[in-house]
Amino acid sequence: MAERILMNEFKALSKENWVNIELRDEDIFRWDVALIVLNPDSMYYGGYFKALMEFPSNYPYSPPEFRFTRPIWHPNIYTDGKLCISILHAPGEDVMSGESAAERWSPAQRVESVLISILSLLDDAECSSPANVDAGVQLRNDKDAYKARVQQNVEASKMDIPEGFVMPTFESTLAAAAADKSASHMYDSDFWAESGDEDDDPFGGSDSSDFEMDDNDDMGVDDQAESGSDDDAGV
């Protein structure tokens, strides 16, 4: 079951532009992941942050392990690249840490929710009990110096961009989204009905009589129906 779930998740995430993933040694339980920060307001904007993600054989009942392969200056990232984040902690409530079961891993979680939580963590650091004490102190006391250190991380991360890979940007993502929305309107009957302009009809303004079918047509009810259808950070 784990293999099937992971393969489905891998295929879905392969279509996203904010993450670049490959199987390591063709092993579905080991993923090379690169998180691409597309938020222009983020200190980590433009980064291509590579990581190794390893899954247990009983996934999704136990959480994956995640480790950045290049050091990142952040209060909740250890110097070895591992994370201090609730969603990767074993299921169930932990009284000692103060984490509720809702904050921790559960079988309902998926890889996408983990990666989104990690992206959110980058700019929403928890400094009260940091994994990297020095980074936490600097973020509180000298934010400009912290930003400068982070910018060094961003520039270093770009060395890991694969040859031929086109880095998405905030602007290109917006443009692609706008293009998709525009294309979807071309086949939206409500859009054309509301426009009230037959000259704009991409199908030539033909009236319904052009598509009438006689009683002997083979299209059944099912065919007609088908033709008319178109994860909080914590320590």
**Threshold 0.85, pTM exceeds:** no
Q: Over 70: is that where the pLDDT of 210 sits?
A: no
Q: Please answer whether residues 12 and 110 qualify as being in contact, where contact means their C-beta atoms are separated by less than 8 angstroms.
A: no
pLDDT in tens, 64-84: 999 999 999 999 999 999 998
Assign residue 62 a region: left if phi > 0, alpha if psi is -120 to 50, beta otherwise? beta
Domain 1-162, CATH class in plain words: alpha beta
Tens digit of each residue's pLDDT (9 = 90 or more) over 125-172: 988 889 999 999 999 999 999 999 999 999 999 999 999 999 998 888
Q: Of 39, 136, 42, 131, whose CA–CA distance to 85 is shortest?
A: 131
Say yes or no to pLDDT of 205 above 80: no
84, 87, 118, 235: which one is catalytic? 84
The yes-or-no answer on residue 127 being catalytic is no
Structure tokens belonging to residue 20:
């670049």
Instruction: Report yes or no: 51 and 122 within 8 Å, Cβ to Cβ.
Output: no
